[in-house]
Structure 1
Amino acid sequence: MALGSLVKTLQNIMRKDAGINGDAQRIEQMTWLFFLKIYDAKEQEWEFHDDSYQSIIPERLRWYSWAHDAKDGKALTGDELLDFVNNDLFKTLESLELAPDAPLRHVVVKAAFTDANNYMKDGILLRQVINEIDESVDFTEYKERHAFGEIYETILKDLQSAGNAGEFYTPRAVTDFMAQALAPKLGETVADFACGTGGFLTSALKILDSQVQTPADRELYARSVYGIEKKQLPYLLCVTNMLLHDIDNPEVFHDNSLEKDVREWKHKPDGQFDVVLMNPPYGGSESASVQNNFPVALRSSETADLFLGLILYRLKRGGRAAVIIPDGFLFGQDSAKTEIKRRLLEDMNLHTVLRLPQSVFAPYTSITTNVLFFDNTGASEGVWFYRMDMPEGYKHFSKTKPIRIEHFAPVKEWWENRRDIEEDGNPKAKYYTVDELRDGGFNFDVCGYPHEEEEILPPDELIRNYKEERAKLDAEIDQKLARICEILGIEA
């Protein structure tokens, strides 16, 4: 079977199973099976290069022991296969006992099956899915494994339209552009503290792989990326992604980056990184116990604010970062947002804000986002703002017409030759000094979109956009009232 049709074939089989409901569950079902098949191929590599290698997976649970069908009538199927998967495979792997110094390639097996699910209820259909995977891809072949990496990308793209699962996927054109802008180098460490499916990490790995010339370079490449992901499905997708990119001991952890006091990182250089690439979750609300892990001035219930605060502590001196944030951060006037913006200007070197078109994340969300580019080299002297407009011929991006890397060509040209640009009487690109931004109450909502397309949105999206617009208007009113009170010499 052609690799390009594999995912569609698997989805069609799973649609017949009463236990699977929706694309997100189909993706999760495929992912743990792909993980085991890929991990089996990697173990064959490790055993070939190291006679002393011992698998963490019991022999009866290794892919070749139970999944391969020799067509001799002995392969598990039906209720027998379901019982094996549900009551032996899953239960054993999620309860593996690991030594404190266990290598990460063993740790990820246990983590991958903690909270994972087998949704299929028809053992015959499950056998069909397993056979398609086993017979269609030989992951022991380097070329075929890397060809499958392209197919794996289609699974990740499907997340964007799979309900709330879309929050874990950032369009590859965006991750590639951000990684190219920061240009990681071999020997540097690249981190994403809410790594989702690993899009930013793989974009960085593409750049680093092109720099590999020697075996020593390959070792640096293998130790170059670090990720943390709170939720099970994207974690499993990310670990599988790393194995496909020849990261044999992926430093990707199933954890919550915010559940540790950020102030401790100042005293732990090994917990700081040269490059941070992120699209933090936004719109979420964090508990008081999580907020207490931050200095009082940085405490916020908004998840994106807390991740920005975390980066301030985990970016190495001389390091650089690119972070996607929603519009609400730019104009937000609450104490935490104002303090973060102040620190980005006075403690960090915030040098560029790229304003992205509204539909970049369609169909998952139409909320307008931006990219902050900053580094830890000293205080900022000023910030460039640039508005990225829709490419010619596009009214909006969609699943069938997504943003592509070539759409960033005007941004790249401007990036290398920065200048003020005005269109139709509105600034498209402009430089603001720190004093100008400070005097404006740290309102970064400049070089925005003067003409918004009117579109029909689902109720939840409409309400979310309304709340954001109301917050923006409230912030502008508060700012003007404060200015009036200052002129009149009265307390607000």
Structure 2
Amino acid sequence: MAISGFVKRIRDIMRLDAGINGDAQRIEQLVWILFLKVYDAKEENWEFDDDNYESIIPEECRWRNWAGDSSLTGDKLLDFVNNTLFPTLKELPVTADTPMKKAIVKTTFEDANNYMKGGVYLRQVIDVVNEIDLEDTSETHAFGDIYESILKELQSAGSSGEFYTPRAVTEFMAEMIEPKIGETMADFACGTGGFLTSWIKQLEKQKSNTADIEKINASFYGMEKKPFPYLLCITNMLLHGMENPNVAHGNSLTNNLLDYTEKDQFDKILMNPPYGGHENASVKGYFPDDLASSETADLFMSVIMYRLKKNGRAAVILPDGFLFGNDNAKTSIKEKLIKEFNLHTIIRMPGSVFAPYTSITTNILFFDNTTPTEDVWFYRMDMPEGYKHFSKTKPMKLEHFDKVKAWWNDRQEIIIDEWPKAKKFSAKEIAENDFNLDLCGFPHEEEEILEPMELIKSYQEHRQALNAKIDKVLETITEKLNCNEGK
């Protein structure tokens, strides 16, 4: 088929359907259909390799047996999808002994929905998807690129955009963390699987035999709380040839932090934790009192520190609020990071990396579980020449990290117009500044105009930081007054 026109053809059909309300629903509708198509192609391979293979999906619900039947259309097709297909897949008999490659069918459909109300339009969408020949290696590779473009569309599909980290960012982070075959890697809020695929891509360059392929397949672990990105991630993994994707549907924050042992740890951790959100108050009970923050990014940082192996390496994206925030939990987390881990590098990324979802400025923290931090290098990554901001038509590219890579291998302090672009600070200096990591930031020549909700969040973060400073000063004054009264 003409892969290049695939997304447009699907979009044009779905726009005619009364049940599809906006891009987010269109993408969700398309992805469960793609999952069944891709899964069926995988099952054909498993059947070829194993004469005794039995599908977990009942025969009438297997893609090959209903999607290829062009006579099943209109109300008859809608009735089958709504009253047979979905109820069956949601209630598949999955136990603790069910292999992951079978169990994923139920978990991906537990919260999936069929939004389309026109059976004829649904038939047309299925027919377009059926044109994809997943037995053709070149076409499968091309379709992988199309799937990537579908993921990118999440950035402009409402709240779903929070799940997409630009591929240039995930590939840069995966490269700098230096993956090796035989190591394990985790992303505890994996979204659509961007970091997992970038990890796999780095290891693919190193493989030399079938044993290496098996090690790559078993090297990663992901968990995703929300059902839609989980579905996207599983389909993404299958498209990348990962037949037993070790990706769980659940919340990484609902495990007691102190219960983790060495078997729960990983050699490498790559993450862009959700930020700006808040968990149920009960989640704090899984964390020690000094680390029990109400901010999701803070909580994930604690999970990362507890689940990083000795001598392991991590790369994590965090918003500016984490760097300058000094409420009790944030300060404790940063103190633990500095005193127990080697926080060696912070890359300060320019704004609009995650546009249009958010214009909040983000940073990449690189640290190892080796020795306490001695020095932290900060590097400000300025907007590329010719770019006022990143956008859908002018996205961030991997080549934009070339200057960062060059500096990484030959670290020098850089001062531009008396404003530090790259500079090293000692752990002692950072501790004396109440663990404020807001260093080598962007010159504030003009005030950035934020969206109302982002402006409110920014003010809230700064107010929290100011309140914490005031509380600290009042505490010091109170202690001195008490001491004087006791004399």
* TM class, shorter-length: over 0.9
1:129 alignment counterpart: 125
What letter corresponds to residue 307 of structure 1 in structure 2? F
Q: Which residues in structure 2 correspond to 1:275-290 (within 5 Å)? A: 275-290=268-283
Give the aligned partner of residue 194 of structure 1. 189
How far off its partner does 1:440 sit? 0.7
SS in 1 for 2:424: strand
Q: What SS does the aligned partner of 1:292 have?
A: helix
Give CA-to-partner distance per residue, 1:316-371, whole Å, 9 cap, x none.
11111001111111111111111111111111111111111111100110001111
Tell me how far 1:473 sits from its aligned partner.
5.0
Determine if contact 1:66/1:75 at 8 Å carries over to the other structure: no
Whole-Å separation in 2 of the counterparts to 1:381 and 1:22:
51
Distance 2:195 2:13 in 1: 31
2:183–2:267 CA contact under 8 A, matched in 1: yes
Q: Among 227, 237, 257, which residue is 2:252 paired with?
A: 257
Q: CA deviation at 1:465?
A: 2.9
Measure how far apart 1:96 and its partner are. Answer: 0.4
The separation in 2 between residues aligned to 1:483 and 1:371, in whole angstroms, is 33
Shift of 1:489: 5.6
- Partner residue of 1:98 out of 84, 87, 94: 94
Aligned to 1:341: 334
Residue equivalent to 1:57:
57
Letter in 2 for 1:117: N
Please give the alpha-carbon distance, in whole angstroms, between the structure 2 residues aligned to 1:307 and 1:150: 30
Does 2:375 correspond to 1:411? Answer: no
Q: Check the 8 A contact 1:331/1:475 in 2, yes or no.
A: no
Shift of the 445–308 alpha-carbon distance from structure 1 to 2, 3 Å rule, reads: same
Three-state SS of the structure 2 residue aligned to 1:160 is: helix
C-alpha change, 1:453 and 1:42, in structure 2 (3 Å) is: farther
Deviation at 1:491, TM superposition (A): 7.7
The answer to whether residue 165 in structure 2 is matched with residue 160 in structure 1 is: no
| Equivalent position of 1:146 in the other structure | 141
Partner of 2:81: 85
Q: What's the CA shift for 1:482? A: 7.3
CA distance change for structure 1 residues 400 and 39 in 2, over 3 Å: closer, same or farther?
Answer: same
Q: How does 1:5-404 map to 2 (within 5 A)?
A: 5-69=5-69, 75-135=71-131, 137-265=132-260, 267=261, 269-404=262-397
Aligned amino acid, residue 123 of structure 1:
G
Given that 2:327 and 2:465 are in contact with CA atoms closer than 8 Å, whether structure 1 keeps it comes out as no
Is 256-265 or 120-129 further displaced after alignment? 256-265
Shift of 1:475: 5.6
What is the rounded CA distance, in whole Å, between the counterparts of 1:197 and 1:335 in structure 2? 32
Distance apart, 1:263 and its partner CA: 1.1
| 8 A contact 1:179–1:203 mirrored in 2 | yes
* Aligned-pair CA distance for 1:474: 4.9
> How far is the alpha carbon of 1:417 from its aligned partner?
0.5
Give the Cα separation in 2 of the matches to 1:177 and 1:452: 29
Cα separation, 2, equivalents of 1:263 and 1:31: 37
Structure 1 residue 478: Cα displacement: 6.4
- Worse-matched range after superposition: 245-254 or 465-474: 465-474
Match of 1:428 in 2: 421
Give the length in aligned residue pairs.
Answer: 483
In the TM superposition, residue 454 of structure 1 has moved relative to its aligned partner by 4.6
Amino acid at match of 1:110: K
Deviates more, 1:232-241 or 1:392-401: 392-401
Separation (CA, whole Å) in 1 of partners of 2:64 and 2:234: 20
CA distance in 1, matches of 2:445, 2:18: 43
Distance 2:482 2:120 in 1: 74
2: distance between equivalents of 1:420 and 1:454? 27
Give yes or no for contact 1:182–1:320 (8 Å, CA) kept in 2.
yes
Q: Given residue 416 of structure 1, which amino acid in structure 2 is its aligned partner?
A: N
- Secondary structure of 2:4's partner? helix
Distance 1:412 1:79, change over 3 A: same
Amino acid at match of 2:127: N
Q: Which amino acid counterpart does residue 347 of structure 1 have in structure 2?
A: E
> Does the CA contact (< 8 Å) of 2:328 and 2:468 recur in 1?
no
CA distance in 2, matches of 1:462, 1:436: 30
Structure 2: runs of 5 or more not aligned: none
Instruction: State the identity as a percent.
Output: 61
SS of 2:156 mapped into structure 1: coil
Deviates more, 1:366-375 or 1:456-465: 456-465
1:275-324 Cα distance to aligned partner (Å, 9 max, x none): 10000001111223211111111101100000000011111111110011
Cα deviation for residue 379 of structure 1 reads: 1.1
Task: Report the alpha carbon displacement of residue 398 of structure 1 after superposing the two structures with TM.
Answer: 1.2
C-alpha distance 478-327 of structure 1, shift in aligned 2 (>3 A): farther
> Post-superposition shift, 1:231?
0.5
In structure 2, do the counterparts of structure 1 residues 186 and 482 end up closer, same or farther at CA, with 3 Å as the change threshold?
Answer: farther
Relative to the length of structure 2, the TM-score reads: 0.96
Q: How many Å separate the matches in 2 of 1:365 and 1:105?
A: 35
In 2, Cα distance between equivalents of 1:401 and 1:491? 60
Q: How far off its partner does 1:458 sit? A: 3.2
Distance 1:11 1:428 in 2: 44
Partners of 1:44 and 1:140 within 8 A in 2: no
Shift of 1:38: 0.3
